[in-house]
Amino acid sequence: MKKRIAALFIASLGSVCILAAHPQDSAKQDMKDAGHNTKEATKKAGKGIAKGTKKGAKATAKGTKKGAHKAAEATENGAEKAKDKTQ
């Protein structure tokens, strides 16, 4: 009987030591986790914004180039018409 009580006491003491070594998450740890999650979300959002900005800049450059070519073509066409009228 005494051996059984001693074994139970040792087992319960062991479980108390394990619980003391690994305490449950505290409010401080929750705040740290929230800060880390916020940091990661901000980084992810920043990468998405960067990707969208690059895509928009490329589209703007492409549209500007297309417009410049179209304007040059129209100028050339108008110059040809003016040349034909003066001859």
Total domain count, the chain: 1
Look at residue 9 and tell me if it is in a domain: no
**Exposed e or buried b per residue across 15-52, where buried means at least 16 C-beta atoms within 10 angstroms of its C-beta:** eeeeeeeeeeeeeeeeeeeeeeeeeeeeeeeeeeeeee
66: domain range?
A: 55-87
Q: Cα(73)–Cα(79) distance, rounded to whole angstroms?
A: 10
Look at residue 39 and tell me if it is in a domain: no
Look at residue 61 and tell me if it is in a domain: yes
| Whole-number pLDDT of residue 83 | 75
Helix or strand run (H / E) with residue 81: helix 27-86
Give the residue ranges of the chain where pLDDT is below 70: 1-4, 6-9, 11-25
| Whole-number pLDDT of residue 81 | 79
Residues sharing a CB contact under 8 Å with residue 63, sequence separation 6 or more, in sequence order? none
